[in-house]
Amino acid sequence: MIILSLETSCDETGAAVVEKKDNEQFVRVLSNVTATSSSLHAKTGGIIPEFAAREQIKAIIPVIVRALLNSEGINNEAIKQLNNSKQFERANEILKKSIDAIAVTSGPGLIGSLLVGVETAKTLSFAFDKPIIPVHHLLAHLFANFILNTEYSILNTGKMFPFIGLIVSGGHTDLLLFESASKFKWLGGTRDDAAGEALDKVGRILGLSYPAGPEIERRANNQQPTAKFHSPLINTEDFDFSFSGLKTEISRFIVKKHLTERLINEVCHALQEAIFAVLIKKTIRAAKLYKINNILLGGGVSANQTLRQQFELTAKSQLPTAKISAPAKTYATDNAAMIGAYALLNYKPVDWHKITALPDLYFD
Ligand code: KG4
Ligand code: ZN
């Protein structure tokens, strides 16, 4: 089966063409195109929803056309040689002939942004008479681990379920136990800021541009541990997290200090340590408690190499049977391939007129 998938929950506009063969457990990406308006938001230090949606309205059709053409091996150089009507004609043919269904992020996310993807997907489904699958953005982050060629892949373990899933994105931090693609239990989550949000907000205090996660990772790698901050819920028995206090602690730590490069790097290092320690401790504890060996990470923060390495190290000493899996970097941050991957592994089409954008979608 081949799916065209769309993702527009935040500031990215993504379209992908993904495939799963009946006898395979994994998903192949035939094309994956992502346009981002993050440079616009870098100036404002955070996303302005109206700006993000306006950019998505402009980007969605060109991104879909490119994803369709790329999926048939027509590269971007070759696309440039075609005029608009030729591009549309080819995309139209590919959609008609090769695409079996359309998947789209239905939530959670920014309402204006979600609507761009959802309404476009509904229109394509109606016009081309293709089934449509609404996809939960957060669950899709975990299912990015089932895309072929991931670096630390669950696919190497040969067994997909059960697994403990840790979602660490810009807006969410959640721990779940999955028994199958559609059967899962929510174990806990953040009570305030998400892990990525804490990185981005402290980044803003330090004068880094948005989103701050990648720069914090780079700076932290250049610094020996000196300062130390704490995540409040680290020693509780539940699976909840709290990261909002870190902003205050760090604001106090740097107040009246001259923000040198060294001090910024030091704060970045200590911030990562504080966030990662609690994420790792609680995830490993959940795996031990529920006697589960597969741990899957997903979401933008899971692109962080230090987080992946620290997970591996802790698992080695505390739960040697554990296998840690994280998506390839391209599929860790928001992308449409993961939306298609989840739709292929949990194929549940819905009548197109029943699909709507669900900004507050959570875990039922
Ligand atoms: O999953 P994502 O792309 O979007 C949401 O669904 O929110 O996650 C974005 C978050 C941002 O907070 C960004 O700072 C963080 O992921 N991020 C990282 C890295 N790359 C992106 N955090 C730490 N290290 C990274 N390398
Ligand atoms: Zn996301």
pLDDT tens for residues 4-60? Answer: 999 999 999 999 999 999 988 889 999 999 998 777 777 777 789 999 999 999 999
pLDDT of residue 12: 94
pLDDT of residue 196: 97
To test ligand 1's pocket by mutation, which of 12, 135, 330, 333 has the most ligand atoms within 8 angstroms of CB? 333
CA distances in angstroms from 262 to 214, 218, 227, 230, 295, listed in the order given = 17, 13, 11, 20, 35
Does 303 reside within a domain?
yes
In this prediction, residues 75-96 reach a mean pLDDT of 97
Ordered DSSP codes for 87-112: HHHHHHHHHHHH--EEEEEEESS-HH
Does 360 reside within a domain?
no
User: Cis omega (within 30 of 0) on the bond before 327?
Assistant: no
Does 114 reside within a domain?
yes
pLDDT of residue 130: 98
In this prediction, residues 333-351 reach a mean pLDDT of 97
- In tens, the pLDDT along 57-78 reads 999 999 999 999 999 999 999 9
Q: CB within 6 Å of ligand 1 — which residues? A: 10, 169-171, 196, 199-200, 211-214, 217, 299-301, 303-304, 333-334
322 and 208 within one domain: yes
CA distances in angstroms from 70 to 18, 151, 210, 273, listed in the order given = 12, 23, 30, 40
Q: What is the mean pLDDT of the chain?
A: 94
C-alpha of residue 196 to centroid of ligand 1, in Å:
5
Q: How would residue 222 be classed by pLDDT, with cut points 50, 70 and 90?
A: confident
pLDDT of residue 150: 56
Domain that holds residue 59: 2-144+332-354
d(CA 327, CA 341): 12
d(CA 281, CA 105): 31
C-alpha of residue 271 to centroid of ligand 1, in Å:
15
Q: pTM for the full model? A: 0.95
Angle ∠(12,15,19) on CA atoms, nearest 5: 140
61 and 162 within one domain: no
302 and 270 within one domain: yes
C-alpha of residue 35 to centroid of ligand 2, in Å:
14
139 and 16 within one domain: yes
205 and 343 within one domain: no
189 and 92 within one domain: no
3-state secondary structure of 84: helix
C-alpha of residue 263 to centroid of ligand 2, in Å:
30
d(CA 342, CA 194): 23
169 and 298 within one domain: yes
Does 362 reside within a domain?
no
* Atom of ligand 1 minimally distant from the CA of 217: 24
Is 184 a residue whose pLDDT tops 70? yes
Fill in the amino acid letter for 278: V
282 and 163 within one domain: yes
The residue with tokens 């819920």 is 233
pLDDT of residue 154: 65
To test ligand 1's pocket by mutation, which of 301, 305, 330, 334 has the most ligand atoms within 8 angstroms of CB? 301
Domains in the chain: how many in total? Answer: 2
Is 188 a residue whose pLDDT tops 70? yes
Query: Which residues are paired to 5 by β-bridges?
Result: 16, 103
257 and 228 within one domain: yes
Closest CA to 306 of 199, 227, 209: 199
191 and 163 within one domain: yes
**CATH number of the CATH domain containing 265:** 3.30.420.40
322 and 174 within one domain: yes
Does 135 reside within a domain?
yes
Is 103 a residue whose pLDDT tops 80? yes
Is 151 a residue whose pLDDT tops 60? no
d(CA 70, CA 78): 10
d(CA 325, CA 63): 29
- End-to-end, the C-alpha distance of the chain in Å comes to 28
Does 191 reside within a domain?
yes
Is 316 a residue whose pLDDT tops 70? yes
What letters, b where the CB count within 10 A reaches 16 and e where it falls short, cover 149-184? ebebbbbeeeebebbbbbbbbbbbbbbbbbeebeeb
d(CA 278, CA 190): 11
The ligand placed nearest to the CA atom of residue 168 is: 1
299 and 171 within one domain: yes
C-alpha of residue 212 to centroid of ligand 2, in Å:
15
Is 156 a residue whose pLDDT tops 90? no
C-alpha of residue 215 to centroid of ligand 1, in Å:
11
* Atom of ligand 1 minimally distant from the CA of 196: 12
Fill in the amino acid letter for 283: T
Does 285 reside within a domain?
yes
Is 152 a residue whose pLDDT tops 60? no
The ligand placed nearest to the CA atom of residue 271 is: 1
Task: Tell me which residue has its CA closest to atom 14 in ligand 1.
Answer: 213
